């Protein structure tokens, strides 16, 4: 058993999937590779995610130390940006590999190419 941030995982693979698993986390992280984005910018890039789900996924990624939520309060309106932490940046090669594999599947196994 592995204990990470108060959560128990049976193996190292489950650690990885516990942090980046699910439908939206990797999508969010891929969009943050190129730099910080505001909440609304993420919503525009991932138009099919609900606001509630995006908020929950961002909060989870922040709690796991993968992304940083920075609030700017110097002048209205309030500005919030999300970016990868140094720990989150260690995921970039993995995220690229996941995206490349997805491209391979689409190119070779997709039934309905648009």
pLDDT in tens, 14-56: 999 999 999 999 999 999 999 999 999 999 999 999 999 999 9
- pLDDT at residue 78 in the model: 85
**Domain map of the chain by residue range?**
2-109
- The answer to whether residues 58 and 67 touch, using CB atoms and an 8 Å cutoff, is yes
- For residue 91 the two structure tokens come to 């995921």
Residue range 54-111, pLDDT digits in tens: 999 999 999 999 999 999 888 888 889 999 999 999 999 999 999 999 999 999 998 8
Record the pTM: 0.90
Which segments within the chain are labelled E, that is strand? 2-4, 7-9, 37-38, 67-72, 79-84
CATH topology of domain 2-109: Arc Repressor Mutant, subunit A (1.10.10)
> How many Å apart are CA 7 and CA 3, to the nearest integer?
5
């Amino acid at each position: 058993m592995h204990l990470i941030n108060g959560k128990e995982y049976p193996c190292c693979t489950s650690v990885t999937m516990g942090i980046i698993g699910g439908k939206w986390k990797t999508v969010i992280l891929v969009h943050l590779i190129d730099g910080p984005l505001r909440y609304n910018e993420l919503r525009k890039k991932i138009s099919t995610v609900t606001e509630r789900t995006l908020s929950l996924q961002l909060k989870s990624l922040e709690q796991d130390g993968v992304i940083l939520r920075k609030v700017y309060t110097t002048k209205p309106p309030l500005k919030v940006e999300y970016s990868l932490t140094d720990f989150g940046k260690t995921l970039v090669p993995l995220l690229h590999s996941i995206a490349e594999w997805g491209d391979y599947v689409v190119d070779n196994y997709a039934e309905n190419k648009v």
